[in-house]
Structure 1
Amino acid sequence: MTGNTVRLTYPQYRAVRRLVHECCNYDGGNCLLLDDGEECVCPQSISYSLICRWFREAVLPTDKGLCAALLHRGRARHCAECGAMFVPRSNRGKYCDECAATVRRKQKAASERERRRRGHLEAEKP
């Protein structure tokens, strides 16, 4: 995000406001990084854009869906299983990390069932 700021929609703004409270530099509405002897309001808690670099790099990645929606807009996709936003690892990625394991397990079970069924049918054909 060099130079261009990300504008937030209202639901994204509310989600970011909830995350701001998890920032290690947030102290009762004030930012410890900007404190130079007098209290300074946390800019991320009052802004409709991502302006705090610390928040962008340290706090936002804790919410993977919001991070994908805001920072990886060109590469982010919706999971085919649950609909959550995620950043695929390759151009063939369809599922988020949470759903990928369950989908893979279901596909493997279906494949094994089909293999056993075919093996059983071939054994009966003498």
Structure 2
Amino acid sequence: MNGIPRLTYQQYRAVRRLVHDCCNYDGGNCLALDDGWEPCVCVQSITYSLVCKWFRAAVLPTDKGLCAALLHRGQARPCAECGAMFVPRSNRGKYCDECAANVRRRKKAASERERRRRGHLEAEKPCNQGACGQSSKGD
């Protein structure tokens, strides 16, 4: 179809759960499409396509993984840590926002541990032929 994303069954079920969070959803009917005489069925709850503009703009972004899978199909990647789909901010993006903070914290802690270990070992090195200002043992 012309730019309208088609849903798999799992995506359809996830969208159906999200439709209930829409402010225009009223017991299976859509308040935005209601003309006042008879209720109109919520079209997003009965189709395997992403057709409702309000749902796409206001409700779908609350589920970042589903939003990335549906709207950014060519650009979305799985997170290397948790496997959730996300849209990277650059071509080097490897982790989703939640995992990126955790991975960054772990790498920083490992780097600091290594820096402290190296600093501790260098302090214990023997004097190198009097280069440090002290006389060597043989003098």
1:23 is matched by which residue type in structure 2?
A: C
Tell me what 1:16 maps to.
15
Letter in 1 for 2:8: T
User: Structure 2: which 5+ runs fail to align?
Assistant: 127-139
Q: Secondary structure at the match of 2:116?
A: helix
- Higher Cα Rg: structure 1 or 2? 2
Q: Offset of 1:9 from its aligned partner?
A: 0.2
* Unaligned residue ranges in structure 1 (runs of 5+): none
> What is the CA-CA distance between 1:35 and the residue it aligns to?
0.5
- Look up the match of 2:30: 31
Runs of 4+ in 1 over 2 A off after TM superposition: none
The one-letter code sitting in structure 1 at the alignment partner of 2:17 is R
Task: Please report the TM-score for the alignment, with normalisation by the length of structure 2.
Answer: 0.87
Question: Which structure: greater helix fraction?
Answer: 1
* Residue of structure 2 in register with 1:61 after alignment: 61
Structure with more relative contact order (C-alpha pairs < 8 Å, separation 6 or more): 1
Give the AA of the match of 1:122: E
Q: What amino acid is the match of 1:27?
A: D
Alignment: residue pair count: 124
Cα distance in 2, alignment partners of residues 111 and 52 from structure 1:
48
RMSD across aligned positions (CA) = 0.8
